[in-house]
Amino acid sequence: MRNNLATALLLLMIVTPVVAQYQQALPGYRYEFPRDHFNHPDYKTEWWYYTGNVKSADGHRFGFELTFFHQAVTRDGQTVGDWGVRDLYMAHLALSDITGGRFYHTERLNRAGPGIAGASLEQQKVWNGNWQVQWKDGEQHLQAIANDFTLDLLLRSDKPPVIHGRNGISQKGAAAGNASHYISLTRLLTSGTIELNGKSYVVAGTSWMDHEFFSSGLDRDEVGWDWLSLQLGGNAEIMLYRLRHRDGSVDPFSSGTFVDANGRSTFLSANEFTMTPLGETYASPATKAVYPIAWRIEIPPLGLDLRITTPLPSQEMTSAGDAGLSYWEGAIDIHGTRRGAAISGIGYLEMTGYAGPLELGK
């Protein structure tokens, strides 16, 4: 039942027409914080992505993902009551036990109900059942409980929010409104505990948070994307996404952002970087998808030439059904050069559309 509901949510994202009752992501949006860290009910789709790399004192390494999705179902003005379906909330939770060589994941889907799931500026919280992120005193308290593991982490941003794209929007296609309002916290200093199979680990490291809200999907010719968050030595970060066409070519609306040590951001257009698979792949036994898990990243304006690898190939988030909900999202290692000097780092890689074409934009 859970997976059938998740499939239904994705189908709503794909086929529900965008009508005038939803706002489009258009140039000139005026961001305000903390308001824009929370809910935007006038937009059809919204999500919050938390990913991170942490270690225990003895070197046990983990990656984690906690993501919250909101999808508006109706804005027709009808009174539907606490249990009516005006909005759906899906969440994904994953733990990469890198040292142990195992990947754990689960998902859930809820309606808002009487406080079951939601996002609230007034409460300073995003939640789905007992998975939640609570903002307080400049920190975010991330908590999630699954059958095999729990996360209890404190995240404090080392930099101000980054606004991706140009003029307040991250454009995903040529049409007006085919875009998102896209915010990231690119270096969240992270500490807390992970419990896995009855054992508790005190951990520390860094995390990343992406938040997008929008009302339009991918162009018809786009089938998925490859997305990277890179946390480099020298306190710099990079976000890149590569939108893929059905014929395998790269969409010219692919883009990225470079964030320097002081938090200043620079837009990267599609012609300023390349993301090239290096041939190493992971073949999923569950979905039969084949994911490229080693990449070369070249950003000539920054003098960067990077190699992306993963210490754990099997980091695919799978769902039942064939609606294309499955994707690969996992911890990565970074090695390369910047203007000839060695540089390294950690991050996260997401690859969608390999288990089936998507019709939704990130």
pLDDT greater than 50 at residue 323 = no
pLDDT greater than 80 at residue 297 = yes
Selected residue with higher pLDDT from 82 and 295: 295
Check residue 83 and give its pLDDT: 58
* CA distances from residue 15 to 5, 9, 18, 73 in whole angstroms, order as listed: 15, 10, 9, 11
- Is residue 355 left, alpha or beta, with left meaning phi > 0 and alpha meaning psi from -120 to 50? alpha
pLDDT greater than 60 at residue 242 = yes
Check residue 80 and give its pLDDT: 59
pLDDT greater than 80 at residue 234 = yes
- Give the start-to-end residue ranges of the domains of the chain: 2-351
The arithmetic mean of pLDDT across residues 185-209, rounded, is 98
Q: Closest by alpha carbon to 341, among 294, 304, 301?
A: 304
Per-residue confidence at 85, pLDDT binned at 50, 70, 90? low
| 36: number of Cβ within 10 Å | 18
pLDDT greater than 50 at residue 96 = yes
Q: Is 39 helix (H, G, I), strand (E, B) or coil?
A: coil
Whole-number Å distance between alpha carbons of 184 and 272: 21
pLDDT greater than 50 at residue 13 = no
| CATH classification number, 2-351, choose in 2.40.30.10, 3.40.50.300, 2.40.370.10, 3.20.10.10 | 2.40.370.10
The arithmetic mean of pLDDT across residues 69-73, rounded, is 90
Whole-number Å distance between alpha carbons of 188 and 158: 6
Structure tokens at 290: 């084949």
Whole-number Å distance between alpha carbons of 227 and 286: 22
Element (H, E) at 275: strand 274-277
Check residue 93 and give its pLDDT: 97
pLDDT over 70, % of the chain: 89
pLDDT over 90, % of the chain: 79
pLDDT greater than 60 at residue 132 = yes
pLDDT greater than 50 at residue 15 = no
Residue 278 CB partners (closer than 8 Å, separation 6+) = 292, 294, 295, 296, 307
